[in-house]
């Protein structure tokens, strides 16, 4: 029997998987290979890929094309003004233009996808992000599965709250938010199937039928048989892992260092905080300082070593979109984890406070949780073991792949309705 031919429309690149988006791209690709032959088209990378990158992706992910959608300010009447001031016109196009245009097929992309589907005899299209995949018109051409992951209205709402803008800019952004909320449900109806990473997103109109596809620790893919040792009873090391170029990480870590870390050091004078991750390490050091016990290690090749040396890890995150995958990654490595309520929100049905994680509802509580784990080895091991078992059984790559396969087979075995959409010229 001929295997299904699947077209994977990938926003950005799936390799190298150094952070969240490329990791989920790669995990989706690998899961899809379980049920069919997969061809990849990169959509919306924003900068040209060099020939070396193209050769690598052709080999690792069967890359057959790279497509670049037009920006919103390059469509409709806005395209006449876009060359004069691209950034300002782009803002105006999003603020006062038709919100549906952000999800509407662009003719040049749609025709290319049509040709690929015919040439490769595609039976299913899988793509990520509605505002990216919608521009390809794929849902009009073949049964299409959409991975939502980050919900754009939620991201825009958090951006408005974070920036706390006022005046006309704020009013325009809020107007765009209202329009997105009104238009998106109809767009979601076009897809044969939907995935969300955040279970709370299923309360958004149009996503009630979505299947849950959680973000999972990438290590559960690369090292499915990882069996970490309990932390060293003598360790006094706290670990933070995250991209220091991501504002929610910077803000949360800076707040922890300034308001919680002094309390921890006062109670445990030999406590150490290791900060590991990509991004501008030197810029973070200048911004946050380097108090006693704080060490900036930058990007390291093997996170296993960092987790092995740590007594616990911290996730002091207060804002942002998507899943705080660093929670699951820490627990998968067998390390007790201290989190904020915000960082826990997408794991809350499964990870229980004081059983599988410790939760700090304030700066003082975060410090107190760290102190408890640094000074109570029995509690530390118990929290780590309980949390790891939950992650292993509910948030591992094997669970991720099973859910991808189940939804793909459901769509391939069922009929889908033809849907129509207007095109942008």
Q: For the residues of 204-271, what is the DSSP string, one character each?
A: STT-TTPEE-----THHHH-TT--PPPPPTT--EEEEE--TTSHHHHHHHHHIIIIIHHHHHHHSTT-
pLDDT at 113 over 90: yes
Between the two ends of the chain, the Cα-to-Cα distance in Å is 40
> pLDDT band at 424, cuts 50/70/90?
very low
Measured at the alpha carbon of residue 416, what is the angle toward residues 100 and 37, in degrees to the nearest 5? 95
Average pLDDT, the chain: 90
Q: How far is CA 310 from the centre of its chain?
A: 25
pLDDT at 415 over 60: no
Mean pLDDT value across residues 10-18: 82
Tokens of 37: 């032959």
Instruction: Choose among 188, 190, 192: nearest CA to 201.
Output: 188
Tokens of 224: 């499915």
Helix (H) or strand (E) holding 288: helix 281-288
pLDDT at 322 (0 to 100) = 66
pLDDT digits (tens, 9 = 90+) for 316-352: 999 876 678 899 999 999 999 999 999 998 888 899 9
For the chain, give every residue range classified as CATH 3.40.50.2000. Answer: 4-216+398-413, 220-395
pLDDT at 164 (0 to 100) = 55
- 391 burial class (0-12, 13-18, 19+ CB within 10 angstroms)? buried
pLDDT at 190 (0 to 100) = 94
Map tokens 């690998």 to a residue: 30
pLDDT at 124 over 90: yes
- 237 burial class (0-12, 13-18, 19+ CB within 10 angstroms)? buried
Mean pLDDT value across residues 4-23: 86
pLDDT digits (tens, 9 = 90+) for 303-316: 899 999 999 999 99
pLDDT digits (tens, 9 = 90+) for 383-395: 999 999 999 999 9
Q: For the residues of 47-111, what is the DSSP string, one character each?
A: SPPPHHHHHHHHHHH-EEEEE-PPPGGGSGGGGGTTTT-HHHHHHHHHHHS-GGGGGSPBHHHHH
pLDDT digits (tens, 9 = 90+) for 57-92: 999 999 999 999 998 888 888 888 888 888 889 888
26, 38 contact by CB (below 8 A): no
307, 217 contact by CB (below 8 A): no
Task: Report the C-alpha gap between 248 and 104 in whole angstroms.
Answer: 31
pLDDT at 419 (0 to 100) = 36
pLDDT at 417 over 80: no
Mean pLDDT value across residues 102-109: 93
Helix (H) or strand (E) holding 128: strand 124-128
pLDDT at 421 (0 to 100) = 40
> pLDDT band at 1, cuts 50/70/90?
low
State which CATH number among 3.40.50.2000, 3.40.50.2020, 3.30.70.330, 3.30.70.270 fits the domain covering 4-216+398-413.
Answer: 3.40.50.2000
- 59 burial class (0-12, 13-18, 19+ CB within 10 angstroms)? exposed
> pLDDT band at 359, cuts 50/70/90?
very high
Map tokens 């793509």 to a residue: 127
138, 86 contact by CB (below 8 A): no
pLDDT at 422 (0 to 100) = 39
Cα-flanking dihedrals φ and ψ of residue 125, to 5°? -110, 135
pLDDT at 195 over 90: yes
pLDDT at 18 (0 to 100) = 67
CATH topology for 220-395? Rossmann fold (3.40.50)
pLDDT digits (tens, 9 = 90+) for 251-286: 999 999 999 999 999 999 999 999 998 888 888 889
96-129: string of b/e by CB count within 10 Å (b at 16+)? ebebbbbbbbbebbbebbbebbeeeebbbbbbbb
Helix (H, G, I), strand (E, B) or coil at 172: helix
Q: Per DSSP, what are the bridge partners of residue 195?
A: 147, 211
Helix (H, G, I), strand (E, B) or coil at 175: helix
Task: Report the C-alpha gap between 287 and 258 in whole angstroms.
Answer: 11
Percentage of the chain lying above the pLDDT 90 cut: 67
């Amino acid at each position: 029997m001929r295997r299904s031919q699947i077209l994977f429309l990938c926003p950005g690149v799936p390799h190298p998987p150094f952070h969240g988006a490329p990791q989920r791209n790669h995990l989706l690709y690998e899961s899809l290979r379980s049920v069919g032959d997969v061809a990849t088209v990169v959509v919306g990378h924003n900068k040209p890929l060099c020939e070396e990158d193209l050769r690598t992706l052709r080999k690792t992910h069967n890359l057959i094309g790279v497509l670049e959608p037009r920006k919103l300010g390059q469509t409709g009447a806005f395209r006449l003004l876009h060359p004069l001031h691209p950034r300002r016109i782009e803002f105006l196009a999003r603020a006062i233009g038709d919100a549906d245009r952000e999800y509407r097929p662009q003719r040049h992309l749609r025709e290319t996808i049509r040709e690929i589907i015919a040439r490769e005899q595609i039976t299913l299209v899988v793509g990520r992000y509605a505002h990216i995949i919608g521009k390809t018109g794929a849902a009009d051409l073949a049964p299409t599965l959409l991975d939502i992951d980050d919900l754009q209205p939620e991201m825009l709402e958090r951006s408005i709250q974070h920036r706390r803008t006022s005046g006309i800019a704020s009013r325009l952004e809020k107007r765009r938010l209202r329009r997105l909320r009104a238009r998106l449900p109809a767009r979601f109806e076009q897809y044969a199937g939907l995935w969300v990473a955040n279970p709370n997103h299923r309360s958004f109109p149009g996503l009630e039928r979505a299947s849950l596809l959680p973000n999972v620790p990438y290590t559960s893919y690369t090292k499915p048989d990882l069996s970490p040792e309990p932390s060293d009873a003598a360790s006094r090391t706290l670990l933070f892992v995250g991209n220091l170029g991501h504002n929610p990480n910077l803000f949360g870590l800076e707040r922890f260092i300034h308001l919680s870390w002094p309390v921890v050091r006062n109670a445990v004078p030999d406590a150490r905080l290791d900060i590991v991750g990509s991004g501008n390490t030197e810029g973070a050091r200048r911004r946050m300082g380097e108090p006693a016990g704080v060490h900036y290690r930058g990007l390291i090749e093997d996170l296993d070593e960092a987790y092995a040396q740590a007594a616990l890890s911290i996730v002091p995150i207060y804002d942002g979109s998507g899943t705080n995958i660093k929670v699951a990654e820490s627990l998968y490595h067998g390390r007790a984890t201290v989190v904020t309520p915000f960082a826990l929100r997408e794991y809350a049905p499964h990870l229980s406070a004081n059983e599988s994680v410790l939760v700090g509802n304030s700066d003082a509580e975060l410090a107190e949780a760290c102190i408890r784990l640094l000074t109570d080895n029995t509690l530390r091991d118990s929290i780590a073991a309980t949390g790891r078992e939950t992650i292993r059984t509910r948030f591992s790559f094997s669970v991720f792949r099973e859910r991808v396969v189940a939804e793909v087979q459901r769509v391939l075995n069922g009929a889908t309705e033809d849907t129509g959409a207007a095109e942008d010229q």
